[in-house]
Structure 1
């Protein structure tokens, strides 16, 4: 592994329509611990991929956004694919963890279920879904990598925990929690993809309405008017 060329200036983006963030001047940079620099690069990559798509973001774009040299990026990562994979893992963790904590902390499982529905489809979640699906589309396989897979499994466990809580309290009727959890996640993924494609259009309220009807059927709940 070569030395980290921290002082080298990043090259400009590959095309005029690329990201325009100004690089940090060499005399303004300070040497930071390895994990800090890695995190800085990953956090810079998330909005770039979300806005432009994984296939249109290169090393120079990420370096410019992070305010480091291209050499520093390649010192810490094997390439764009690795950066995007780890950036998506950060996004997944930042999206699912607080939602899981919130829905499980509410007084009843029914309230937690509504927090879940509102949490997976709201004005803030489109970026998450765009990043998630784009990372799949840009890879050789549609399966998430090991980091993403573990986080996805953790999220499924939280959903199952909420459903189990409601079943045990008598709020829900659910003969097979695991199967309901699988169907729930599949429906969320499908609705999210439909919403991003926009053909035909699917509003946030429509997505939530479809999800509520599904859960009402699966869990024996009265449907909202």
Structure 2
């Protein structure tokens, strides 16, 4: 467990007494998200989570069997929210090319550093998690991310916006480059701005996806 000053309590005690079990569990998990993003999962203990959620340590241990269970649910919650927002962003685009540009821009903003910290914490936790269901959940989330990328490229090919001889290869390389740029962005070794991270990904897409019969490829990002 970690020491130090506890974060501001999330809710008043009078409000907590009226909350059913599922709401209180969600409150605890929600409180853990910023802690993990700021400190890393290895530096967050049950007292930290209890203080952030505004509940007792006993309440936390009553609802969860371990700190790892809380941290795992917190990471899953944040990651699912993030990729749901990405999907909505892409869905608003009127073309596949526009959707890919929006996707890249949404991946790297000043606000997404927190997501990327959670993402790498999530994968690191999988290396030490003995529950097969946890590993299975990681696989499904990454497969879903790959499907989203591939679907956008496939849509653009079908609509004649651009060409791609290897959709699966494009998907794998896009995801790998995004992860690599995110890691460099967080470590800042060497330094990488959000604008440069976007530029590298846009350039990759322009190189991989050529002009189609009804379009002129992606062209340079605006």
What do the CA deviations read for 1:57-103 (whole angstroms, capped 9, x no partner)?
Answer: 10010011111111221122221211111111111111111211221
Closer/same/farther in 2, CA of residues 157 and 171 from structure 1, 3 Å limit: same
Q: Against the structure 1 CA distance between its residues 146 and 33, is the aligned structure 2 distance closer, same or farther, given a 3 Å change threshold?
A: farther
Q: Which runs of 5+ in 2 are unaligned?
A: 211-216
| Structure-1-length-normalised TM-score | 0.85
Q: Which of residues 203, 206, 216 in structure 2 aligns to 1:216? A: 206
The question of whether the paired residues in 1 share the 8 Å contact of 2:30 and 2:74 is answered with yes
1:15–1:188 distance in 2 versus 1, CA, 3 Å = same
TM-aligned CA deviation for residue 133 of structure 1 = 1.2
Give structure 1 stretches of 5+ with no counterpart.
1-12
CA distance in 2, matches of 1:194, 1:120: 14
CA contact (8 A) 2:97 2:161 kept: yes
Shift, 1:105, TM fit: 3.0
Q: Count how many residue pairs are aligned between Structure 1 and Structure 2.
A: 212
**Structure 1 residues 81 and 210: CA distance shift in structure 2, 3 A:** same
Q: Of residues 3, 8, 19 in structure 2, which corresponds to 1:15?
A: 3
The Cα shift of 1:174 comes to 0.9
Candidates 141, 160, 171, aligned match of 1:181: 171
Is 1:38–1:76's contact at 8 Å kept on the other side of the alignment?
A: yes
Q: 1:216 to 1:168 in 2, by over 3 A?
A: same
Q: Deviations over 1:17-51 (max 9, x none)?
A: x4332476655531422221111111100001111
Q: Which residue of 2 aligns with 1:7?
A: none
Partner of 1:94: 81
3-state SS in 1 of match to 2:163: coil
Contact 2:13 2:54 in 1 (8 A): no
Check the 8 A contact 1:195/1:203 in 2, yes or no.
yes
Q: 1:197 aligns with which of 178, 187, 202?
A: 187
Shift of 1:154: 1.8
Q: Does structure 1 residue 56 correspond to structure 2 residue 43?
A: yes
TM-score of the aligned structures, taking structure 2 as reference length: 0.86
Question: Structure 2: how far apart are the matches of 1:111 and 1:49?
Answer: 33
Q: CA RMSD in A?
A: 2.3
Q: SS state of the match for residue 127, structure 2?
A: coil
Matches within 5 A, 1:32-51: 32-51=19-38
